[in-house]
Amino acid sequence: MTAVDSQVSTTSVDPAHLGGWATLKDVVAAYVGLMKPRVIELLLLTTVPVMFYAQRGVPALGLVVATVVGGTLSAGSANALNCVYDRDIDEQMRRTRRRALPRHMVSPRAAFVFGIALAVISTLVLGFFVNWLSSGLALAASAFYLFVYTMVLKRRTTQNIVWGGLAGCFPALIGWTAVTDSLAWPPVVLFLVVFLWTPPHTWALAMRYREDYAAVDVPMLPVRRSGEAVARQIVAYSWAMVAMSLALWPVADTGPVYPVAAVVLGGAFLVEAHLMWLRARRSDELSRIKPMRLFHWSNMYLSLLFVAVALDPLLTR
């Protein structure tokens, strides 16, 4: 979920004008780009550590590989279909102009077929090589992301990513069910941690690109509210997120590694959120608010928190 901060070109590239191997390379890269691999990286980072915790040790390598492959294809399917639906606004936004569809590297029809094929393959991979509960959860997450967030919420409400973000929480459940073939309270707590983490993370990015969202009439909260109002909500969600992260300790009866990490990481996140709020109260200029500081820290926070989830059973057995 890393933003593209560099300048982007609006030049379209026609694969037919490229030489043989260059054309193949660019087309493959375009299809991979449709899957949004940087987004998938973060989703997998909330899947695999939960598998370690559910196993209370190191899960079988084959199971991890099947879950990662199936999860990657499932998320890639949802992202590709999202690109098809959002291609009209992607052409106008600085952050998304270099995607495959705006650059005409892939046709909308080809991207649609690609997305559907990935959905079918991922469902079968997870169903046959992991279990059907995990397969069903992955399919539900993709469907929610496409039909609820992309088609309904994104262009209609400032709360789009609050509820649309539910789709990105499913990997915590899938990591658990891949090992146990059942649900329990610990993955639900981690699901809610990701749910509460999503608004601060995404609103910080949206604040950086609020002019882009305003230009295409996508009502992200930073487009409709002042920087101070957005930062205040970020602080509120951050406190709720940290409180929920600490709830895993009694719910899952963790060892000392996880709660110590949750306190330290959560404290640092709260400090950064409050500092951004103070800067936003003084000025509504992005150069003063510095929202990308919180955005980058939010990536590190979630990554390290879930690393602690994986390490806790390994270090406290």
Over the stretch 172-194, which tens digit does the pLDDT of each residue have? 999 999 999 999 999 999 999 99
The answer on 212 and 236 residing in a single domain is yes
The pLDDT, as a whole number, for residue 34 is 95
**What's the pLDDT tens digit per position in 234-263?**
999 999 999 999 999 999 989 999 999 999
Quote the mean pLDDT of the chain.
91
pLDDT band at 85 (very low <50, low <70, confident <90, very high): very high
Residues 195 and 159 in one domain: no
Single-letter residue type at 9:
S
pLDDT band of 13, cuts 50, 70, 90: very low
The reply to whether 215 and 250 lie within a common domain is yes
Which spans in the chain are helix H? Answer: 20-34, 37-45, 48-55, 61-85, 87-90, 108-129, 132-143, 160-164, 170-180, 185-208, 210-215, 221-224, 227-252, 257-282, 286-289, 291-315
Indicate whether 1 belongs to any domain. Answer: no
- The amino acid occupying position 224 is R
Question: Residue 247's pLDDT is what?
Answer: 97
Q: What is the span of the domain harbouring residue 30?
A: 22-181
Q: For residue 287, which amino acid is it?
A: S
Residue where a domain terminates, one of 181, 212, 236? 181
Task: Please check whether residues 167 and 56 belong to one and the same domain.
Answer: yes
Instruction: Find the mean pLDDT for residues 115-137.
Output: 98
Q: Which of 142, 161, 181 is the last residue of a domain?
A: 181
- What percent of the chain has a predicted confidence (pLDDT) above 70? 93
User: What mean pLDDT comes out for the span 274-303?
Assistant: 94
**Mean predicted confidence (pLDDT) in 40-69:** 95
145, 237: one domain: no
Alpha helices in 150-256 (DSSP H): 160-164, 170-180, 185-208, 210-215, 221-224, 227-252
- Which residues make Cβ contacts (< 8 Å) with residue 173, sequence separation at least 6? 137, 183, 187, 188, 191
- Between 14 and 200, the higher pLDDT residue: 200
Per-residue pLDDT of 153-165, as tens digits, reads 999 999 999 999 9
In a domain, 15, yes or no: no
Q: What percent of the chain has pLDDT over 90?
A: 83
